[in-house]
Amino acid sequence: MSTAVVSTAGTAPTAARARDARPARRNLSRGRGPRALLGVLAVVVALVWAFPVYWMVNSSLLANVQLQSGTPTFVPFSGSLDNFTAVIQGPSFLTALRMSLAVSLLTVVAALVFAFLAALAISRFRFRGRKSFIVAVLVVQMLPAEGLFIAQYKLVGSLNLLNTVLGVSIVYTAAVVPFTLWMLRGFVAGVPIELEEAAMVDGLSRTQAFLRITLPLLAPGLVASGVYAFLQAWNEFTVALVILQSADKQTLPIWLRTFLQASGVRETDWGQVMAASTLIAVPVIVFFLIVQNKMTSGLVAGAVKG
C-alpha cells in the first residue's frame, strides 16, 4: 500500500463530498432481482478480499498446536492473547518499536516543516525558478527507491550515519517531501489570501493573521499529510533493509522479516509471526482510515471535471 497513495494530489475533498451526496441510482438499468444478486456478489468479493487480513488476526489468536494440526481452525473460539504477550515480551520487539517510532516521528516533523514552508512559497509567491522547482519536485516524487537505494546507502555510509535514526530519516524525509508538498500546496491554495488581508485590515499583523486565520484552516491538510508521511516511514522496507543492518537498530518491517526468517529455521511459529504482523498493521490501518478520503479524491476530481 505504501506506493498506492503516492499519486493523488490532495487538492480537493470535493470528490469525497460528491460521493456522499450522490443520488441513488434507482431508476437506472436493473430491476430488483439482479441488483440483489449483485449485492451478494459484492459481499462475496468483500469476503475474499478481507480474508488475508482476517486470517492474520485469526492465526495470531491460536496456539501453535492448532495451527499445525491437519485442518485449519477458521474461527478462534479457543483463542488467547498468548502470542501477543510472547512477541511483546520477546527480546527485540520493543527496541524495534522505539526505532520505528523515532524514525517515523522525526520524518513527519521534518517533512511537514520543509514541505509546508515550500508549499507557502509556491502557492503564495511568484518567483524566478518557481516552475523549475515544481517540475523538479514532481520528477523526484516519481524516482523509485529501487533505483536509488544503493546510492543512498553509500551516502548515509559516508556521513557515518549507518544504523542510526538520523541516517534513515534523512532519506525518508527526502522521499516524502515531494508528495507532502504537493498535497499541502492544494490546501494552501484553497485558503483565499483575502481572508488574511481582511484580518490585517482589522488590525492584525501579517504573522498574527497567518497564525490565527490561515493556520487553523490548514490544520486538516497538515494532519492528512503528516499521517501520510508517518505511514510511508512506518512501512518502508527497501531503504531500511540496507541502512539498518545491525540487529538492534531495525525498524518494525525489517524486524518482522528477521523474525520470520529466524523462526523459519525451526518450524515457523506462525502464531507469533501473525501476532507480530497484526501489531505492525493495526496502527497503520487506523491511521489510513483517517486520511483515505483526502488521498483518493484529488486526482479524480480534476480529471473528470476538467
Question: Site residues for another protein, window 223-242 (CB under 8 A)?
Answer: 234-235, 237-238, 241-242
Residue 248 C-beta: closest distance to another protein, Å = 19
Stretch that binds another protein, among 34-42, 79-87, 209-217, 222-230 (CB under 8 A): 34-42
Q: How many residues lie near another protein (CB under 8 A)?
A: 134
Taking the CA atoms of residue 174, residue 180, residue 130 and residue 117 in that order, the dihedral angle to the nearest 10 degrees is -90
Site for another protein in 38-67 (CB under 8 A): 38-43, 45-47, 49-50, 52-53, 55-56, 59, 67
Q: How far is the CB of 236 from another protein (least distance, A)?
A: 9
Nearer to another protein, 52 or 203 (CB): 52
Within positions 248 to 287, which residues make up the interface with another protein, using CB under 8 A?
Answer: 252-253, 256-257, 260-261, 264, 268, 270, 273-274, 276-278, 280-281, 284-285
Task: Kindly state the smallest distance separating residue 68's Cβ from another protein, in Å.
Answer: 6
Among 99, 103, 106, 115, binds another protein (CB under 8 A): 115
Q: 267-303 burial, b for 16+ CB within 10 Å, e for fewer?
A: ebbbbbbbbbbbbbbebbeebbeebebbbbbbbbbbe
CB of 89 or CB of 128, closer to another protein = 128
Of 63, 121, 222, 247, the one binding another protein by CB under 8 A:
121
180 CB-contact burial (10 Å; exposed 0-12 / middle 13-18 / buried 19+): buried
Nearer to another protein, 224 or 276 (CB): 276
Report the site for another protein in 129-158 (rule: CB under 8 A). Answer: 130, 133-140, 142-155
CA dist 257 to 15, 29, 51, 237, Å?
Answer: 38, 49, 22, 10
Whole-number Å distance between alpha carbons of 179 and 142: 10
Using CA atoms, how far apart are residues 138 and 13, in angstroms rounded to an integer?
21
The residue (of 42 and 94) whose beta carbon lies closer to another protein is 42
Return the residue of 62, 87, 106, 122 that touches another protein, per CB under 8 A: 122
In whole angstroms, what separates CA 47 from the centre of its chain?
24
Q: Could you tell me the smallest distance in angstroms from the CB atom of residue 242 to another protein? A: 6
Q: Output the CA–CA distances (angstroms, integers) from residue 92 to 77, 186, 219, 251, in the order listed.
A: 30, 41, 36, 10
Grid cell locating 222: 497538515
Q: Is 76 in the site for another protein (CB under 8 A)?
A: no
Do 52 and 60 touch, CB atoms closer than 8 A?
A: no
Task: Report yes or no: 145 and 175 within 8 Å, Cβ to Cβ.
Answer: yes
161-220: contacts with another protein (CB under 8 A): 170-171, 173-175, 177-178, 181-182, 185-186, 189-193
Q: Which of 105, 108, 111 is nearest to 177 (CA)?
A: 111
Give the residue among 136, 232, 129 at the shortest CA–CA distance from 182.
Answer: 136
